[in-house]
Amino acid sequence: MGAAQASIIGSDERKANREVAVVGRSVIFKIKRCDGPGKPWRWESFKVPTEPGSNVISSLNWIAANPVTASGKQTTPVVWDSSCLEEVCGACTMVINGRVRQSCSCLIDEYAPREGDEITLEPMEKFPVIRDLWVDRTRIFNALERVKAWVPIDGTYNLGPGPKESHDHQQMRYALSECMTCGCCVDACPQFSKQDDPKNWEGSFIGPQAISQARLFNEHDTGKQLKDERMDTLTGPGGIQDCGNSQNCVKVCPKGIPLTESIAAIGRSATIHTIKKFFTGK
């Protein structure tokens, strides 16, 4: 990421920026673009006027309607992924000023308060680019399949309520269940490597989100029936042992999910699972 890395700013600074943001200013969007898989990438800059409440999405919308670079060259609208724009779907994740986050909740006043300030947009690092800022995150959904992130119910017929659950336990599961599969945690994880070929997904680190989801379902009374199968995956190649404990995941998670606690909990389960397997041979 290079130069962009230097401009990461903290939440206090962002708040301070808001207070001094100049009304009616224009800011520069420096965007890393690529026309498709295997194509070279390039930077393009756009001078974008701000309005009250401008965010990265509204700025990209403006560029789509006015696809001309800051130097006056006609270009194409920037391609990016988005859906809810309320930070609950996870689609619009990208690297903004060197840090991975959702673009819908990224306010221009916080990042570029003065005339001509620059904001850098790059696609997520750990996924193959489809075009411009849109990347293919199939791998993290596939990881959910690998850890069997579901409750194995008997079927959809009417069989009465699910298991009773304490208030505290529900609160714990709810916190884990807010995961949007946005990919921030894996993008920031030094152990999670970019793998364009799906054949290599199984052998390389599965990443924090899938580990935390495995915990979510191990914690459910019916879901725990698949615990052994989940732990087989997580104690195999690319499993829990590949975590390097950098703790980047928990720092970038937009939902504040206790990912490191999940990793620790699964780590303990992994130990028990391995010992159990040793003695039972199963």
In the region spanning residues 129 to 148, those forming contacts with another protein, defined by CB under 8 A, are 130-131, 134, 136-138, 141, 144-145, 148
DSSP designation for 237: T
Alpha-carbon distances of 202 from 3, 130, 199, 234, 245, rounded to whole Å: 33, 22, 7, 10, 20
Which of the ranges 159-167, 202-210, 244-252, 264-272 carries the binding residues for another protein, by CB under 8 A? 159-167
- Chain residues 243-272 in contact with another protein, contact rule CB under 8 A: none
Place of tokens 């290599």: 200
CB of 239 to another protein, least distance (A): 18
Cβ closest to another protein, residue 216 vs residue 243: 216
DSSP designation for 74: B
Write out the two tokens for 279.
């003695």
Cα angle value 50/18/178 (rounded, 5°) = 95
Q: Is residue 123 a contact point for another protein (CB under 8 A)? A: no
Judged by CB under 8 A, the number of residues near another protein is 71
H or E, element range at 130: strand 129-131
Q: Where are the alpha helices (DSSP H) in the chain?
A: 11-20, 56-65, 108-111, 138-146, 167-177, 184-188, 208-218, 227-234, 248-252, 259-280
Q: Report which residue type is found at 41.
A: W
Q: Is residue 212 a contact point for another protein (CB under 8 A)? A: no
Rounded to whole angstroms, the Cα distance separating 75 from 188 reads: 31
3-state secondary structure of 13: helix
Q: Is residue 164 a contact point for another protein (CB under 8 A)? A: yes
Q: Is residue 25 a contact point for another protein (CB under 8 A)? A: no
Cβ closest to another protein, residue 128 vs residue 267: 128
CB of 193 to another protein, least distance (A): 22
Alpha-carbon distances of 71 from 47, 75, 76, rounded to whole Å: 9, 11, 14
CB of 186 to another protein, least distance (A): 15
- Chain residues 55-114 in contact with another protein, contact rule CB under 8 A: 55, 57-58, 61, 64-65, 67, 76-77, 79, 81-91, 104-105, 107, 109-110
CB of 26 to another protein, least distance (A): 14
- Chain residues 185-204 in contact with another protein, contact rule CB under 8 A: none
Task: Using CB under 8 A, pick the residue from 2, 155, 190, 281 that binds another protein.
Answer: 155
CB of 246 to another protein, least distance (A): 26
Q: Do 231 and 239 contact (CB within 8 A), yes or no?
A: no
CB of 38 to another protein, least distance (A): 11
CB of 216 to another protein, least distance (A): 8
Q: Is residue 170 a contact point for another protein (CB under 8 A)? A: yes
Place of tokens 């001078």: 47
Cβ closest to another protein, residue 179 vs residue 263: 179
Q: Report which residue type is found at 188.
A: A
Task: Using CB under 8 A, pick the residue from 5, 13, 152, 198 that binds another protein.
Answer: 152
